[in-house]
Amino acid sequence: MLGIVGIGVYLPYYRIKLSDIAEAWNRSPKIPGEKTVPAPDETTLTMARNAVVNALKHADITNPEEVGAVFFCSNSSMIEGSYAQDIAIAVGLKPDVTIADLHGSPRSFTTAIQMCVDALKTQRIKYGLIIGADILVGGLGTSAADTASEYVSAAGAGAIILGNDGVITELEGISSSMSGMKERWRALDEKFPRVGDGRFIRDVGYINVVVQAGKGLMESLKRPIGGFNHIILQQPQTAWVSRALKNLGTPKDSLKKVLSGPGFLLGKFGDIGAACLPVALAEVLDHAQADETILTISYGAGGSDALSWNVQKSINEKRSNATPVEKFLKYKEYLNYTTHLKYNKVISQFV
């Protein structure tokens, strides 16, 4: 049986209320919710390391040298150099461990899952570690899409450990879809990402490929959307997720449950890029019961992967080892808008 043997997350202590962002943009301040803000000394690497420590503890892996591969996935880590290598050294892995850094898309997390699955199926490794970590910032502020991204761009990290022993959530199947869409992009000499037309990205990019990937998986499993107990989609905007769920055939009562229940991070933490799916999955697994099924669908740079998971009875044995997502919901401090910009390094610390 191949699947998740452990999962860990890390979310920054600092938060900003979305109503404070709206006020700074001279918009109506009646916007509920909040998002994470990294501390001045936090990076994707430091957040990732904390998530990995929690994942190893949850997996009950006492000998880190049993981990044979590390995949670091991010939209916002350094352009040159390897954070996968840094993580491998930080947690005491063997020198012959396979390392890879995947950049440029939140979808990189599910791409890494497929790479890790291939290594596990050939028995080349015993366990594989996959990390998603991002510190996202808004666009250039020149369009409606840029302004919308300011409300959701956030920070966080999540890590999963895949293996064949001690599985708490079995991987049932994978389906993928791709288009030529690029919703965010940034050249090497640019500090902030550029964001395209929001409506075009939403309809032709996000909804189109997410639905194709989801329907492809449901057809292969011969299971309708109503056959999943939990549904997790990549979460760039609430309205986008809602429309995609409707196009997938999600019943109205289930739609409300998805947008307000465990696994929906917007309004609680924000859009955390490559960390979205592992953090959302961790929150669902904090409460999931044996034999429940979970549908996860990634999205980024015009591509999407849909994965189905089946929760195993062994999840109850490891629940006491987990660091619940609820802990990060409660442990926080709010910042004002200017401090939020400083901590995200949008403006100087000395302003």
Q: Per mean pLDDT, which range of 60-74, 142-156, 164-178, 317-331 is the poorest?
A: 142-156
Q: What digits encode the pLDDT tens for the residues 121-176?
A: 999 999 999 999 999 987 654 454 456 788 999 999 999 999 999 999 999 999 99
Q: What is the mean pLDDT of residues 282-297?
A: 97
For the whole prediction, is pTM greater than 0.85?
yes
pLDDT of amino acid 197:
63
Residue type, 106: P
CATH, domain 3-167+316-343, list 3.40.50.620, 3.40.47.10, 3.40.50.720, 3.30.360.10: 3.40.47.10
Which neighbouring-strand residues pair with 300?
303
Q: Where are the alpha helices (DSSP H) in the chain?
A: 18-24, 44-59, 83-90, 108-121, 144-152, 198-200, 208-221, 238-247, 252-260, 276-285, 315-318, 325-330, 337-343
Q: Per mean pLDDT, which range of 5-14, 20-29, 140-149 is the poorest?
A: 140-149
Kindly state the tokens that stand for 248.
């997938």
pLDDT of amino acid 76:
85
Q: What digits encode the pLDDT tens for the residues 264-280?
A: 999 999 999 999 999 99
Which neighbouring-strand residues pair with 303?
178, 300
Which neighbouring-strand residues pair with 70?
99, 129
How would residue 198 be classed by pLDDT, with cut points 50, 70 and 90? Answer: low
Q: Which CATH class is domain 173-315?
A: alpha beta
Q: What is the mean pLDDT of residues 292-308?
A: 95
The whole-angstrom separation of Cα 8 and Cα 56 is 8
Residue closest to 9 by CA, chosen among 311, 261, 280:
280
How many CB atoms lie under 10 A from the CB of residue 108?
26
Residues of the chain with CATH 3.40.47.10: 3-167+316-343, 173-315
Residue closest to 296 by CA, chosen among 71, 288, 270:
288
